Amino acid sequence: MAVTLPEPVLAQYERFSLYNSPYPAHDGGCAIDLYPGTLVDGRTTAAPSPVAGTVRETRTVRAPPKPYAPEHDHLILLEPADSSLLAGLTVRILHVEPSVAAGDIVERGESLGRLVRAGFFAPWVDNHLHVGVRSPDQNPYRASGSLPIELGVSVRPLAWDGTGRVVATGDTYAVLDAPTHPAPGAGFAGVRADGGGVLDGGLPHYEGGGVLERDDDPNPVVALNGDRVGIADGRTITWDDVTVLANDEPITGLSLFCAQDGDFGAKLICPERSFAVGDRVQVRIRSSDRD
């Protein structure tokens, strides 16, 4: 059983990703990260509710220890309203310090509290709500076990030749000016894989990723600009043993996601290297089997 998140749910967020996470809850696209803002506009703390409904419970949970993060995160369980397409299911939300309590009724888009950066976050990850959906007979507290998520929106694949200029930087990342969103605010877009589909995930710094909006292509090989990146089983990709190169030097990887904001561009994960705004960058993928 899969559950579809309709357009009104997704459209209120700047970005989303089904696969850009190292945690098993995202395996097979069984959870989604919803980003109300971007790194370019600062780390927003806004936490708009994905659905209308009633708060079933809130809990404080322990997070992985990280020197830059608090040791606790928070879990919010929502029972969607009868009018919702998710009625009868349980929506499970992490990374929000709640301003709501059990029994509160919330509307879609209403604040659930304040986004927090607990130890589940790598330093390059922007603030987001982690959302999973479960049937009533499933344990709502286990980290994994949510239903596969389908998208009630189309995602436009954007061709990208691997080049661009740096427009923003941080201690662990750099953002390029390409590919550009053709119509910001008018739908989601993402980096196009060779042969079609949109790439989603941390390449290759997380074990796998996804290819969305791909036609029924019998060839499981997934590539970017002629460089093979992995093998797809349905929409889920197992990355090959590859290295991402920026100007012929290795970096940690590429962060791939779906976005509708005007600041969209390829995001390089590069804590081991520094880039300056204005630098010209060429990105390629090298197989570890090559000399």
Q: Alpha-carbon distance 235 to 210, whole Å?
A: 5
Q: pLDDT tens digits for 157-169? A: 999 999 999 999 9
Q: Do the beta carbons of residue 191 and residue 158 sit within 8 Å?
A: yes
Which is more confidently placed, 218 or 239?
239
Distance of CA 261 to the CA centre of its chain: 14
Q: Taking residues 193-217, report their average pLDDT.
A: 92
Q: With bands split at pLDDT 50, 70 and 90, how would you rate the model's confidence at 265?
A: very high
What is the overall mean pLDDT for the chain? 94
Q: What is the DSSP letter of 192?
A: B
Domains of the chain: 3-151 (2.70.70.10), 154-287 (no CATH)
Q: What is the pLDDT of residue 146?
A: 96
Beta bridge partners of 148: none
Q: Do the beta carbons of residue 162 and residue 178 sit within 8 Å?
A: no
Q: pLDDT tens digits for 107-129? A: 999 999 999 999 899 999 999 99
Phi, psi for residue 278 in degrees, rounded to 5: 100, -15
Q: What is the pLDDT of residue 291?
A: 45
pLDDT for residue 11 is more than 60: yes
Q: What is the pLDDT of residue 30?
A: 97
pLDDT for residue 289 is more than 80: no
Q: Do the beta carbons of residue 127 and residue 152 sit within 8 Å?
A: no
Q: What is the DSSP letter of 24?
A: G
Q: What is the pLDDT of residue 42?
A: 61
pLDDT for residue 67 is more than 90: no
Q: pLDDT tens digits for 16-41? A: 999 999 999 999 999 999 999 876 55
Give CA separation, 65 vs 69, 71, 100, 162, 243, in Å. Answer: 7, 6, 26, 35, 28
